[in-house]
Chains A and B, each alone.
Chain A
Amino acid sequence: MNIIKYRNLFFAFSLLILIPGIIALFLWGLRLGIDFSGGTLWELKFKEAKEISSHQIQQFLTEKGAEVSSIASTSQDTFLIRMKTTDEQKITDFKTNLSSTFGQTEDIRLETVGPTISKELTQKALTVVIIAILGIVLYITWAFRQVPKPASSFAFGVCTIIALVHDVIVVAGIFAILGHFFKIEVDSLFITALLTVIGFSVHDTIVVFDRIRENLKTHSGFSFEEIVNHSILQTFARSLNTSLTVVFVLLALLLFGGQSIKVFVLALLVGIISGTYSSIFNASPLLVVWQNFKLKGIKLKFKR
């Protein structure tokens, strides 16, 4: 199997996912959850379930002065209500009103985030992302400080980071699309998922690059392209098997786990699949592209 030979095909496949994602990010952006935008999220169960529609509840609450932005029914008698930040007193009033009209209710969860806190959280999230990326970049520079010729540790580092950015954009892009069409929101756990994906992506790339580094030392007779391709194939089973086990456990969590972390788990799942793909099909072929560019440059100089 020659992965390097078909590298443009693999790059094209990445672009096929990246471009719609980037467009979605620019057009719609991510749908921010109440962590970042502030607001109230109220999941409510009607114990004496009659036929109640979300439209009915929306109308009812709006009449009572609630600023409802959306209502979705999560199961037959359970509704997820999104409102502007609403204080405790008002919620209690709404609850009393709802109970007296539609029968006994039970709070499944109620989350309110005020504007100052959401602003702080957003700032914090941005700081964390920046620090994490800086930390990872520093680490990569250190991890690849010794790479035998003809490769450069700079090229190794840059390719790792390109793979990492690829994964972040894939996850963010897919969630921008999901947010637009399925109203899936991102919260601070989503940022956590992104950072974990970054960690994983680098983890995966390092395993392949580590092998390239080793083979460069031991197989000096082969061309760079051959060595890279060989290293990818050698680590292929490992990369795939590791991802499979992680995908298994994440799928188990997604299908059977707790409701409130499903978006988080989905983000991890998308990111880890993307991370495996990018480390095999993007990062290492990019090294070759880089190397070829450099060689061309040298040849051109020679001709003059």
Chain B
Amino acid sequence: MPKRPRTLLFLIIALTIAAICIDLPKFKFLGKTFSHLSINTKFLKRDLEPKLGLDLAGGVQLVMSADMSQIEAQDRDSALASAKDIIENRINSLGVAEPTVQSAKTQGQYRLIVEIPGISDIDQAVATVKKTAHLEFKTIKADAPPEATYSAQPQFFESSGLTGKDLKRAAAAPSRDPQKPGYVVNLEFNQEGAKKLDEITKNNLQKPMAMYLDDQPISWPPPVIQSVISDGNAQITGQFTAQEAKQLAIQLNAGALPAPLKIESQSRVGPTIGADSIKKSIFATAIGLFSVAIFMLFYYRLLGIFAVLALAIYTLIVLAIFKFIPVTLTLAGIAGFVLSIGMAVDANILIFERIKEELRWGKPKHDAIFSGFDRAWSSIRDSNVSSLITTAILFNFGTGSIRGFALTLAIGILVSMFSAIIVTRTFIRVFWARQ
């Protein structure tokens, strides 16, 4: 550590300015828009935007379990991976900023954890995600009355043996047939699917073929088989709108996934309450900081000023670290941060009380300051370690908001040790000890 407190002071000021540059929100001044920095180098990319968790941004978290009972053990991992792919695609089609899909395997359970923050129409989002299901192509039963062909009632259909497993992909495309404008859906089957389709189309020419997703018919009334298809490339021509065709293609693609997903748990936060929580949290944090500052000034007077300055720097640095890592802020995370404010001051209080005591014992100011920091250090170190142990355990074993809390609290504790020991000491040495 540099011997000269002045050098340290400049370092602290530089660090503070860097933190301010990161923390700065977008604002306008003299007609120009200013904003925080962003890092864009080859090795490190950070937009340094604040990241908000579900409870602040609003949105939905779904925990879905995949039913693997119909899938061979060795295929289960890849089935989960493809489920993840498909869900990701569907969510991306919703056009939300930062959706995440995680796959998790615990105690023989295959799960997908989907988070869609900042979405306004949660119902639609959940519906889109949820539709991932078992796709089946059904043909009309042999013993169905002839009029069933035309009225196409669901009870007259039976499984054709052709399922989502046989389907490679489906895609919407504009129709090339000038007689039938609009959109079509192209289906591409795999080898086995092509074989099955060949058979089915031969036996069911001019009869309807229905598509069922999760036992629900899609695109009803069903399309009618117009010709024998033996190359595995089929087309549904229903004079769809672009939207309808896209939706049908998405549903068919989802069906290409044979492991049915079930929503095991979900958590939805409406967008209004999210915005409301942000406002409340900022207000509460400000009140908390303010009351701590007032208390320190009132109780410790001159020393209090140093503590408040250190607290301000502490806040700036912690926020900058949150944006840099980046930490996704949740309500619990904010609680962790706010709690760490209290702890940041704790180190200062320990030191100040010690200095006051040493002064009372008649030590000269310079010695009192020195031994105040020196003696308080073992208490600060030992006592913070117990909190750090707790946060480490919480972070490793917790999920979601617990991790957020543990992370913000741990960052807060670490920075608080820095601010109490180095920042406050430098201030005191530069501005007080020499008087």
Contact = CB atoms under 8 A, between A and B. Distances in A.
Q: Is B one of A's binding partners?
A: yes
Interface of A: 87-88, 92, 106-114, 116-117, 120, 124, 127-128, 131-132, 135-136, 139-140, 143, 188-189, 191-192, 195-196, 198-200, 202-204, 206-207, 210-211, 214, 234-235, 237-238, 241-242, 244-246, 248-250, 252-253, 255-261, 264-265, 268
B272 interface: yes
Contacts of A132: 389-390, 393-394
Contact of B267 (A111, A143, A234): A111
Contacts of A107: 122-123, 268, 270
B135 interface: no
B116 interface: no
Contacts of B263: 87-88, 112
Interface string B102-145: 00001101000000000000110010001000000000000000
Interface string B394-428: 10011101100110010000000000000000000
Interface in B283-300: 283-285, 287-289, 291-292, 295-296, 299
Given A88-B126, A192-B402, A257-B281, A242 B394 contact: no
Contact of A113 (B265, B276, B393): B265
Interface centre among B295, B342, B391, by most chain A C-beta atoms within 10 angstroms, is B342
A136 to B, nearest CB: 6
B277 interface: yes
Contact of A207 (B264, B343, B379): B379
26 contacts: A107-B268, A108-B270, A109-B268, A110-B266, A116-B65, A135-B389, A139-B386, A139-B389, A189-B405, A199-B386, A199-B389, A210-B383, A238-B350, A241-B295, A245-B295, A248-B295, A249-B341, A253-B285, A253-B335, A255-B284, A257-B284, A257-B334, A258-B277, A258-B280, A258-B281, A259-B277
B211 interface: no
B394 A195 contact: yes
Given A248-B292, A252-B285, A114 B393 contact: no
A246 B393 contact: no
B416 to A, nearest CB: 12
Contacts of A120: 106-107
B284 A256 contact: yes
Given A120-B106, A202-B386, A252-B285, 14 more contacts: A92-B123, A112-B267, A131-B393, A188-B401, A189-B402, A196-B409, A211-B379, A241-B349, A242-B342, A248-B288, A249-B292, A249-B338, A252-B288, A256-B284
A143 B382 contact: yes
A139 B386 CA distance: 7
A200 B126 CA distance: 41
Nearest to A95: B123
Contact of A128 (B130, B338, B393): B393
A192 B383 contact: no
Contacts of A248: 288, 291-292, 295, 342
SS of A interface (majority): helix
Contact of A111 (B266, B299, B335, B405): B266
Contacts of B292: 245, 248-249
A245 B277 contact: no
A199 B391 CA distance: 9
Interface centre among B289, B335, B405, by most chain A C-beta atoms within 10 angstroms, is B335
Contacts of A110: 266-268
Interface string B291-315: 1100110010000000000000000
Interface string B311-343: 000000000000000000001101100110111
A256 B375 CA distance: 38
Interface string B255-267: 0000000011111
B379 A206 contact: yes
B357 interface: yes
B286 to A, nearest CB: 8
Contacts of A128: 393-394, 397-398
Nearest to A237: B353
B389 to A, nearest CB: 5
A249 B281 CA distance: 11
Contact of B291 (A214, A234, A238, A249): A249
Contact of A188 (B296, B393, B402): B402
B387 interface: yes
Contacts of A211: 379
B345 interface: yes
Interface centre among A139, A203, A260, by most chain B C-beta atoms within 10 angstroms, is A203
B339 A249 contact: yes
A189 B401 contact: yes
Contact of B350 (A136, A198, A207, A252): A207
Given A248-B288, A259-B277, A116 B382 contact: no
Contacts of B130: 88
Contacts of B338: 249-250, 252-253
B378 interface: yes
A111 B405 CA distance: 20
B375 A214 contact: yes
Interface in B72-108: 106-107
Contacts of B334: 253, 257-258
B397 A127 contact: yes
B345 A256 contact: no
Q: Which 10 A-B pairs have the closest CB atoms?
A: A246-B342, A249-B288, A199-B390, A252-B288, A258-B277, A114-B264, A257-B284, A203-B383, A199-B387, A256-B284
